[in-house]
Amino acid sequence: MDSSADPAAAARAAAHAEVVAQLRRPGACGGHPAAAGLIETHLSSLLLAGDRVYKLKKPVAFPFVDFSTAALRRQACEQELRLNRRTAPQWYLAVVAVRQGEGGAAIAAPGRPLPGPAIDWAVQMRRFDDRQLFDRLAGEGRLDAAQVDRLAGVVAAFHAAQPPLARPDGVASGTCAIVRDNASELAALAAGSELGEAVAGLQRWSEARGKALSALMDRRAREGHVRDGHGDLHLGNIVWADGTAVLFDALEFDDRLRQSDTVGDLAFTFMDLQAHGLPRLAWRFVGAVLEAGGEWSALPLLAWWAVHRALVRAKVALLARPAIADADADADARAQARARHYLDLAAALAAPPAPRLLLMMGLSGSGKTAVAGVLAECLGGVRLRSDVERKRLFGLAPTDRAGLSLGLYTAEATRCTYARLEALAADALRGGVSVVIDAASLRRDERDTLRALARHLGAPFHLVLCEAPDATLRERLARRQAAAADASDATTEVLERQQQFTEWPAEDEAAGLLRIATDRPWPALEQAVVQSALRLAAA
């Protein structure tokens, strides 16, 4: 936005720049003796003073945010402090005044109040190691699956801790309006550039897809899935600290943009992992969060929300362009390229490959769950675990061991479990998401039912048979039982019963059958599964 076209905006920006310059003087920023460092975003100026950070809101007035007065900025600072203490109370300390003294603007040192009127406000934070930001880890190839798994657990727990917000019918219309407004703001920023056509196409897609999903949005609102989330959960707002993922910098300036279906938060992280060239970790993250809360009904909304989040980041990139005519051409080109990157990703998310259904088969201990996870990540889909969904039907956590006393493994419980897997898979496939069902599938009728579902929905079907020697199966089961950290309750006794009744694939099941020998070191097995997934995707 060109502030030179608005004299009031230009005056506010100049005044803010002067205050920031004064605060950078030695001793002026919380009493820190050295000159303060500075990081700027399109909305904030962050002053780095020793082990503290002082975050000031810029006096901007965009269509989506208004920080044009000191009162509005103070209100936003207080809201930021409240919201972020939900996830990072160890870092968010206080809202402090910026006072105008005889020597210039200053923030008081602890226990040493300053005279003079308050001219602005800042959020005081403890400084963390920004080398551990998830966007840095991802960009430098240091983000691993264990960190993403921990992040998924943190996000799932955060959402579960937020009470559902009462929302009448009409959530869909409000959400679609937010998406429409963001796209319109992006279109205005891209007007006259080579990006305009791409933005227009994504506007049309978002509008049509939003209408098609409106009934699901309203239903999920009635079911309690609209919560006060984070609102800006890209990788730059997540950091690895003290052995866990910490969420910070929640969106504070508009409740409507933060209080949404929980899939809106997931979609931001999912999109940004994709933007960093990490699609496997993106699908791993989504699958883990949805599995934790049983929120599989969100899957049809994922791509729509992810496209919206990509368009948000494209808008942010264009807002960061130099605002004056004689601006640095290289900086402008970088901003345009960044916006183009997100637009290209949005276009890909809006047109995913046709979904497919994979059904695992194998005796207990044959490695089905690990193989299914890799297949789902590589194919761009989710894994549905029979062990987890069976226990969910009985109100149990995945690692609860009360199954035998509650009748989890009766014939009727098994029938209900497969019926649930079938229903969940159908919703996902209709929503355009591939599914890998992680179940033993040892009986022919179990496999035939899911094969028929794929045929009915026009989705390619593959049966994936995992095989390993008996000694390997028994050793794995013993190790898993000792760890007691997995959803499976299988024992060697269960294995022996399975071996007696298993109906191995018949000749008429050979089409689409994929056999995987799992008795090899994990790196070799993983690579073999990745290659198999690539062949399936290319078929």
* Domain final residue pick, 299, 327, 350: 350
- Asked whether residue 331 falls in the same domain as residue 389, the answer is no
- Asked whether residue 289 falls in the same domain as residue 255, the answer is yes
- Asked whether residue 444 falls in the same domain as residue 308, the answer is no
- Asked whether residue 370 falls in the same domain as residue 457, the answer is yes
What is the value of pTM for the model shown?
Answer: 0.93
- Asked whether residue 325 falls in the same domain as residue 461, the answer is no
Instruction: Please list the alpha-helical segments (H only) found in 259-365.
Output: 262-275, 279-293, 299-319, 329-350
324: pLDDT strictly greater than 80: no
Q: Kindly indicate the confidence band of residue 326, based on its pLDDT and cuts at 50, 70 and 90.
A: very low
364: pLDDT strictly greater than 80: yes
* Domain final residue pick, 127, 160, 193: 127
163: pLDDT strictly greater than 50: yes
pLDDT tens profile 41-100:
889 999 999 999 999 999 999 888 999 999 999 999 999 999 999 999 999 999 999 999
pLDDT of residue 331: 81
* Domain final residue pick, 317, 350, 383: 350
Q: Which of 190, 139, 133 is nearest to 317 (CA)?
A: 190
Specify the number of domains making up the chain. Answer: 3
- Asked whether residue 468 falls in the same domain as residue 322, the answer is no
What is the crossing angle of helices 262-275 and 279-293, to 10°?
160
Which domain does 66 fall in, by range? 3-127
- Asked whether residue 204 falls in the same domain as residue 333, the answer is yes
| Contact of 208 with 99, CB cutoff 8 Å | no
How far is residue 101's CA from residue 91's CA, in Å, rounded to a whole number?
28
Q: What percent of the chain has pLDDT over 90?
A: 86
Q: Which of 502, 118, 186, 537 is nearest to 340 (CA)?
A: 186
Average pLDDT value for residue range 214-239: 96
Comparing 403 with 319, which gets the higher pLDDT? 319
402: pLDDT strictly greater than 80: no
111: pLDDT strictly greater than 90: no
Instruction: Please list the alpha-helical segments (H only) found in 320-398.
Output: 329-350, 368-379, 386-393
